[in-house]
Structure 1
Amino acid sequence: MIFKSLYELTKEERERIINRNKANFDNIFDSVVKILRDVREKGDEALRYYTKLFDKVEIEDFKVSREEIEEAYNKVDYKVVEALERAKENIYYFHKEQLKNIKELRVERNGVLGQIVRAIEKVGCYVPGGRAFYPSTVLMTTIPAKVAGCKEIYITSPPTPEGKGNAATLIAGDLVKVNGIYKVGGVQAIGALAYGTESIPKVDIIVGPGNIYVTLAKKLVYGEVNIDFLAGPSEVLIIGDEFSNPNYIALDLLAQAEHDPNASCVALLTSREKAEEVKRELEKILKDIDERKEIIKEALKNLAILYGELEDLIKFSNEYAPEHLELFVREPEKILEKIESAGSIFLGEYSPVPIGDYASGTNHVLPTSGFSRCSSGLNVETFLKKITYQKFDKEALRNIKDVVITLAEAEGLKMHAEAVRRRLRE
């Protein structure tokens, strides 16, 4: 843990905080390439081999049957199903509002220029398993695709030790009415979605978070299909002033830390006194934690609690570009105007990250490791294509011919110029 004034950070400490969790694929590159190649060449045979190797189960039919989905409803508490239903409604509502702001375009300048919007046809949603299963990620990845109008949506997620689909994950997929759910995870799932196999269809875009192997696999199949972005371990940065509650800040740091031993947690406070209060609260709460305690303790090794002037904390946050940014200050809306980079922002102490993780309606699939400097989180637009068009008559073509012919000939592309010139000789 780093606990000190923002102004006392060494260059190395600052770089370590800012450049957290930069993925190093060197040690896994060859194995990921081999798995993808095997899936491309051998299809379901490779999926069965790697599922047995990594998940320790033998699966003949990867597609989840209707009977298995019905069985899932009998395994899950009805309160969980109700919670998924309510979360689904909120997520649908927000993403439908997003869609309203994505416009087609038609303007007249010389000829007619325009833009039409079309949905990507086939979508693959990767839903992680392993340490935990994430039915909420089913909702977050599939609903914006549904709202966008994508025709086919498929889910892949690792099987349970019994060779089944996780019950809550299956229910979430059923509530959204996806076209298929498949019991396969890891690199092999990404390969299946990218290339297609006998049982799993090839898609046009793959979205969703995953471990470093899944992340590299997505990177390697980009170009064969589109992807959302490369997401790493979860992270939070909290800015608190003298009015902030140190207990809430400590709770939210721990909530993020329980995700993953590589999770990144940063608290930026406006005074040393407040920073010390947060540190004391962390230590106090940690004593009473039983579940996932080792994961939390490992993640907290990377914790940074820093203090300084508010304006400098904001600048540091923009440089850090967090996945989740919590503004626990007296007037968070005023600070919001100064934020340049963040995946999702939570304003005020009654807006903790978990509401965005599950039920507020915004999406929880967000850029990490500073990628929010140049990327948005998952949204309806992720699943849309913008196609431009133009319509010129002869007079409009004549008005622009000199520009086109001059530039075409400057680039040495004679037939480009002739394609325009000869039309105007007729």
Structure 2
Amino acid sequence: MTGGRLRVAALLLPLLAMAQSQAAARAAEWPREVQAVYDGLKQECRAEGGKFVADRAAFATQTEVTNDGKPDWIIAYAATRCTTSGYSAWCGTAGCVIGILGSGPAGLREIFNDNLRDWKVVAVDAKRKGLETSVHGSVCGGVGAEICMQTLVWNGKKWAVAKQRRWTDADYAAAENGEAGGGAPPPMHAARWQFGGSGMGAIAATTDHPDFVALGLRCQPGGGVYMTMMPKPGLALPAAGQALLVDFKGSANGDYDAVQSLVQEPGKPDLSGPLDPGVEQLLVGADTGLELMASTDGGDEWRDLNYMSLAGSTAAIRSLRQQCAGAAGASAGQQSVGKKAAPPLGIVPGYYVLESESCAAPSFEAVYYDGRRLGLMRGGGAPGSENENIVGPLGPVEKSGKAFFLPEWEMEVKILSPTRIQLTIQDTEAPRRWCSDSQIGAKWKAR
């Protein structure tokens, strides 16, 4: 039975996965002592620069184990984690850390703090209740992978061992049988990303995720790409007008994460927002899937969502980008009707952003041109910073076919049309399309 014991012991390790029959109290009902423990863990995590991830319903359970008729509270520390340390901070081969706040004349105080593989409150005799625990096999003189059961009773000052025994072969066999017949596996996401449509009607999306009906990317009318999520009823949502933050985490090139902000669309259940560049890198990267977390309070607390498959995402999103870029370029041409191109470059004065980006918020820079001056508009930062707006004379212009070389700017501008250009500085970048002064974001405007 050694293999069975190892397998059952491993099954018992993640304490959060064990269903407890005791009623779990919501955070709104927690006594101040329980809330103080929770707040302390959060503050410690935030001080380390991590995101505090919590299952509030599983964190604290009201029970009665001190036999004085007053509520006690059992705290599952592994119901929380900090992204800087993960689950390993609370769990090991002996189980996960459990704390008990016992009732007393001065309120609740901690009377137990140790690693347990499992626990439940049991009747020791007609008058007393005790805590039945599953602990490290060495406590019963066995090896760590074996299971030792201890029943502890609180005598008002300390815990006494009322009963202790090692699991027998029959216990392991019963556990194996229970495992074989029990519960449905956790929900998984395996749907492939799909692409469809054309122009402004193009979309790349995945469906059938355990937390949302669909997650899709679509072309934004002003350029760029929007993400839209259609949540399922079980997904916690923020208050009206507040953003749902979704953290996407990959591991193919080292742990890397990016946060997407989504706001409910007026009159719709959907949540949408401009696609975060870091999230897009993850969606088209080398990962086969991403870990997801969500926050409804601006990032103060996070909760785990289910894994999301990236099968087919790279091809679908690249196809979408091509459609969005073409639609944005065509839109720029239509909007510029009646406007004159300015020499010497022969393009319409204004701003030029990558066709995959929004006029209102370029990811890095917009190129400005008015016939006399050129500008690299990077967000209006302080002089000398990487997001400084730099505007200066166009300088000499050397023509070569459909391209112009600007020595003072050390760049070549290829003219694709009066409203489309392509820059070559070190490498040839993607085409840029024209944006009017009214479309460009205030931080990117030339003065």
* TM-score when normalising by structure 1: 0.25
**Quick check: which one's strand share is greater?**
2
Ranked by relative contact order (alpha carbons within 8 Å, sequence separation 6 or more), the top structure is: 1
* TM-score when normalising by structure 2: 0.24
Rg larger for: 2
